[in-house]
Amino acid sequence: LNAAPGPAPRQHVRFLPVPAEDGSGVTGLVATRVPMLADHRLVRGPRFRRLKIGAGHRLDTKASGVFVLGIGHGNKLLTDLYNCHLTKVYTVGGLFGKATDDFSDTGKLVEKTTFDHITREKLERILAVIQGTNHKALLMHSNIDMKTQEAYELAVKGLIRPMGKSPPIITAIRCLQFTLPEFQLEIHCLHETQQYLRKIVHEIGLELKSSAVCTQVRRIRDGVFTLNDALLRTQWNLQSIQKAIWDCQLKVKTELEKTLG
């Protein structure tokens, strides 16, 4: 970063003595723009000595996916994005037949059950109910008085969302793949933790009169940032990072203006 050419040094006007043309010894003053010495690299030192990096929404060690970071002045945008309360989308993989103590497949086994009675239809029914109860929780935690006309209009448009602290809420959930004993769900949620999603998988297993563990949690979208914007491990170099920041600046600005006004 320090090797890259920095911004041009500031210029100021100085009156410099200039020897007269005919060598008579009389020096005139000419106003010229010269760069300030205080901005010179040898005077100031390297431009960047430390970088402030902040993290967006947490992602624990067993999960993977989009993880948003803010650099320098971008940390202020991070707090604004947090206050927007946008939904995150996860792909959660599950496995029927086992129940463990930490709800993932690397934990200590608690129970094994049969699962051949489970069909995609039953799973979709449970998911519809989860969505329904969470939708109700969404309306209740949004702290809007349900008796007003504005509440009705927002509910029609689907814009009611809790804009403060709330327990984890799932706004949408659906089944992407179902091949016994494995299944994959796509979950859109707010204010959640990955362990909560694993607990949901466990509870789906219990509701279907069997048991389930979570094999994979992958965040595919965090507010405005999707998998396409994310940088792979091989792309963690200066040029890609700078390009990524440049590409998403406009998106973040429009989203913040839309939500926070």
Partner 1 sequence: ARPPLLLGRGLAKAAGPRSVRQLKEAEEAAPVFQYAGKAAKRKDRVFVWGFSYSGALGVPSFVKPDAGWKKPRRIQATPYRLETEEKISSAACGYGFTLLSSNTTDITKVWGMGLNKDSQLGFQRSRRDRAKGYEYVLEPSPIPLPLEKPQQTRVLQVSCGRAHSLILTDSEGVFTMGNNSYGQCGRKVVEDESYSESHLIHQLKDFDSRVVQVVCGQDHSLFRTKKGAVYACGWGADGQTGLGHYNITSVPTKLRGDIAGVNIIQVSSYGDCCLAVSDEGDVFGWGNSEYLQLASVTETTQVNVPRHLPFKIGKIKEAACGGTGNIVLTEEGNVFVWGYGILGKGPNLTETAVPEMIPPSLFGWSDFNPDICVAHVCCGLSHFAALTNRGELFVWGKNLRGCLGTGRMEDHYFPWRVTVPGEVVDVACGVDHMVSMVKSFT
Residue whose CB is less far from partner 1, 49 or 147? 147
The contact pattern for partner 1, residues 187-206, with x = CB under 8 A and - = no contact, is: -x------------------
Distance from C-alpha of 213 to C-alpha of 103, rounded to nearest angstrom: 5
Q: Which of 112, 120, 243, 253 binds partner 1 (CB under 8 A)?
A: 112
Establish whether the linkage from the previous residue to 162 is cis, with ω within 30° of 0.
no
- Binding footprint of partner 1, residue count (CB under 8 A): 37
| Residue 53, strand partner residues | 71
Under 8 Å between Cβ of 212 and 105: no
Site stretch for partner 1 (CB under 8 A), options 14-22, 128-136, 239-247, 249-257: 128-136
28 touches partner 1 by CB under 8 A: no
Q: Does 135 bind partner 1 (CB under 8 A)?
A: yes
Q: What is the DSSP track for 114-153? A: --TT--HHHHHHHHHHHHHHHHHHHHHHTT--TTSHHHHH
105 is an active site residue: no
Residue 52 or 112 with smaller CB distance to partner 1:
112
Burial class (CB in 10 A: 0-12, 13-18, 19+), 3: exposed
Distance CA 197, CA 189 (A): 9
We find the least distance from the C-beta atom of residue 220 to partner 1, in angstroms, to be 15
The set of residues, in sequence order, having a beta carbon less than 8 Å from that of 104 and lying 6+ positions away, is 62, 198, 213, 214, 215
Return the closest-CA partner of residue 169 out of 144, 188, 195.
188
**Choice from 19, 132, 164, 167 touching partner 1 (CB under 8 A):** 132
How near is the Cβ of 48 to partner 1 at its closest, in Å?
Answer: 44
What backbone torsions phi and psi does residue 228 show, to the nearest 5 degrees? -65, -30
* 29 versus 109: smaller Cβ distance to partner 1: 109
Rounded Cα gap, residues 96 and 16, in angstroms: 83
Q: Is residue 136 part of the contact set for partner 1 (CB under 8 A)?
A: yes
Per CB under 8 A, 146 contacts partner 1:
yes
- Burial-class residue 156 by CB neighbours within 10 Å (0-12, 13-18, 19+): exposed
- Is 165 near partner 1 (CB under 8 A)? no
Q: Applying CB under 8 A, does 116 fall inside the site for partner 1?
A: yes
What residues between 205 and 244 interact with partner 1 by CB under 8 A?
207-210
- Single out the residue of 158, 164, 245, 249 in contact with partner 1 (rule: CB under 8 A): 158
Catalytic residues: 60
